[in-house]
Each structure stands twice: as C-alpha cells, then as structure tokens.
Amino acid sequence: MSLPYANNPSPLGIDYFKSGCAIPASMVSCCPKDMKKTNKLTKALGYLEDSLDQGVTAESVARFAGFTQSHLTRTFEALFGVGPDEYISRRRLDPERWPSLRSLSERGFADISGVRIMDWPQFYARGLMITTTAEDNRRKGIISAFWQRVVSSEEILSLIAKTGCVDLLGVCWDYNPSDSSFSYGIAVEAPHVASFSSSDSGVTILVPASTYAVFPIVGELPKAIETTRKAIYGEWFPVSGYEHAGTPEFEAFRIPGTDASPRTNELLAPAIWIPIRECAD
C-alpha cells in the first residue's frame, strides 16, 4: 500500500456510511453559530508583550485571554514550534531572532473556509502507536517516519482486512501541555470494541462522542497538514468562541483502492478532525 499522505483520502465514517446511508443533515453545520469578534490570540500576544518584563508566564497569558493552558500550548506549538514558556524565554533572551509579534494577520495561512462543525458518536480505534513530543516531531519528522514504516506493515494490513475500513486515522491523544508529549497512533476504526480481538496488533483507543471542527486539508501533503494546523490555531480558533476539548483528535485518510463513502460528497478530504467545546467567558 502506498503512503496515505500521497493519495486522495476522505474522512472517516462510522455506522452511517457502513450502513450505506448519508450523513444526517442535523449533524453538520458550515460554521459556528456565533463567531465572536474578539481575536483572543491577538489579545494573548498583546498581553504577553506588555508584560514581558513583568514576570509573565504561560499560565497568566492563558488566564488573561480566556484560554485553558492546554489550548494555549497547542496554539503556540502549532504557530511557533515551541510552547508558550519556551517562547517567552526566547523572546527575553533573543529578541532580534524572536521579534515582537502582536498580530498574525500577515502570516498567509492556508485556506480553511471549508470547515464544518459536526457532532459524531463514540468509536474505537485500533492500531500501532508511538509517544513523542511536539519539539522532537518538528525537528526529526517522527510522525512522517512512523507513517512510512507502519502504513504497509502486516499489522495494519490485517486490521484493514478484518474491519473493512476505507480510512486510516492518525490519532493524537494523551497530550501533556507541561512537556508537550503525546501519543500518536495509525489506526482503523470501529463502532464497538468487540470489533477487535485480543490477538489484533496494537492498542485500542476510545474516542468519545464529540463535537468536531472538521478542516479539509488542501495542498501538497504532508506540508499542507502543518499549514492547515497553523490556520486552525492562528485564524479559526481565536475568533470562533471554541477551544480544543482535550479529547483525541485525528487526521483521516482514504485507503487507496477502496470505495468512496457517502461522506465524500459532504466534506473535502483528507481532513483534520479537532474536538471542540465552547470557551468560558
């Protein structure tokens, strides 16, 4: 099997397309109902710069802007490649290399106008996993190397054959904002844990029922994944009124040679699925 990153996959599906029916229209909306006008990231960056010589911390920035610290850390890692504490330290020690930045409006983000908000039921994912950090992955390309090593392995091919899945998922979970570590698995999905047996390779991940922001990935892979994530955290989240819900997120890729699912007509693919919840005011 060729690497999913180089093909034209589509989002995962669960009971709805396995039974051959279309997605209920009530599960999909094109955008948040009430997009808040205040850009919370601009607010956070402004506070950080104004307080740089006054003992500012990631915790105080998150509290001022109305983010959880976990969401703030995800945002900084997506946009700057480092967490907020490291960003603050570098701003203080090397201001020429890390200049003042109060707005991201000129950064040329990817087009994420095709975002959909979807409620989706609980499912299980089974596959092979690694544990890494955002910094190590950025520097060493650990996840890309993992895909190259695993995508055609006997373990994954066996899971695909057993479940009849038409999508492979890249699932991210157990994120720890204190050291930016997380688990990442290449997996297939099923609606019930009984779909897998103890003899199947890998680990089983419970992905709870969630509301997702689903972002089609447009452009050359895998670079487009990075630019889409930057747009999600730099443009969409700061004005959406939502934040990351803290549950597993995933990328979904079409398995080459499989039949199209009914969801192909609803969403562009591949796509990044991020669980969301409303921000506290």
The answer on 228 and 253 residing in a single domain is yes
Q: Which of 23-32, 72-81, 148-157, 169-178 bottoms out in mean pLDDT, i.e. has the lowest?
A: 23-32
What the block records as the tokens of 76 is: 């900084």
Kindly state whether residues 67 and 138 are assigned to the same domain.
Answer: no
Task: Report the C-alpha dihedral over residues 105, 91, 69, 273, rounded to 10 degrees.
Answer: 40
In a shared domain, residues 63 and 84: yes
156 and 221 share one domain: yes
Same domain, 211 and 262: yes
According to the model, what pLDDT value does residue 162 have?
A: 82
- Domain boundary (49, 64, 93) is at 93
Phi, psi angles (nearest 5°) of residue 262: -55, -25
Q: Are residues 228 and 163 in the same domain?
A: yes
Would the pTM of this model clear 0.85, i.e. be above it?
no
Closest CA relative to residue 10, chosen from 256, 275, 248, 276: 256
Confidence band (pLDDT; 50, 70, 90) for 185?
very high
DSSP 105-163: TTS-PPP-TT-EEEEE--EEEEEEEEEEEHHHHHHH-HHHHHHHHHTTSHHHHHHHHHH
Is 169 within the bounds of a domain?
yes
Pairing of the two strands 116-120 and 28-29: antiparallel
Same domain, 58 and 174: no
Residue 260 confidence (pLDDT) = 54
Residue 101 falls inside a structural domain = no
Looking up residue 87, the CATH number of its domain turns out to be 1.10.10.60
> Which residue range is the domain that position 45 belongs to?
40-93
The verdict on 151 and 264 lying in the same domain is yes
Q: Where residue 138 sits, what CATH number does that domain have?
A: 3.20.80.10
CA distance 116 to 192: 25
